[in-house]
């Protein structure tokens, strides 16, 4: 008798390798964005802005860049079966590719 139990494995899932929370792809999207955003927030200068307005604009830039990175890393389209970052890469490659138009 064969008493083995077959467990289905989802081969499309990403392995969470960094702190058991992030995959390598997600880490490489979020971490550089976090570092560059924080460096800009601390040391960045925007021409013709000073004081409180400068810090408010820097905070908005920090929030928007991190939000965009998190959306690119975690949002997965059920229609295409890809993450948002992969969809954008495919769209850019398609737009930049050479196309041949023929008259029918």
Domain that holds residue 92: 24-96
Give the helix ranges, DSSP H, for 50-101: 52-74, 84-96
Q: Number of folded domains in the chain?
A: 1
Q: Which among 20, 12, 14 has a CA at the least distance from the CA of 73?
A: 14
Contacts of residues 49-55 at CB distance under 8 Å and 24 or more positions apart, as own/partner, are none
Residue-wise pLDDT tens digits, 47-90? 888 888 899 999 999 999 999 999 988 888 888 888 888 888 88
Spatial distance between the Cα atoms of 71 and 86, rounded to a whole number of angstroms: 12
Please, is 27 exposed, middle or buried when counting C-beta atoms within 10 Å of its C-beta (0-12, 13-18, 19+)? middle
Residue-wise pLDDT tens digits, 3-47? 787 777 665 566 666 666 778 888 888 899 999 999 999 998 888
C-alpha distances in Å from residue 16, one per residue of 8, 19, 21, 25, 43: 18, 8, 6, 10, 33
Q: Say if residue 1's pLDDT is above 80.
A: no
Q: 91 in a domain, yes or no?
A: yes
pLDDT at 21: 74
């Amino acid at each position: 008798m064969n008493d083995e139990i077959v467990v289905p494995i989802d081969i499309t899932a990403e392995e969470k390798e960094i702190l058991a929370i992030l995959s390598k792809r997600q880490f490489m999207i979020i971490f550089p964005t976090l570092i560059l955003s924080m460096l800009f927030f601390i040391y960045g200068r925007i021409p013709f802005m000073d004081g409180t307005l400068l810090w408010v604009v820097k905070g908005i830039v920090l929030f928007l860049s991190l939000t965009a990175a998190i959306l690119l890393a975690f949002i997965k389209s059920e229609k295409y079966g890809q993450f948002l970052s992969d969809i954008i890469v495919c769209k850019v490659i398609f737009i930049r590719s050479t196309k041949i138009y023929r008259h029918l």
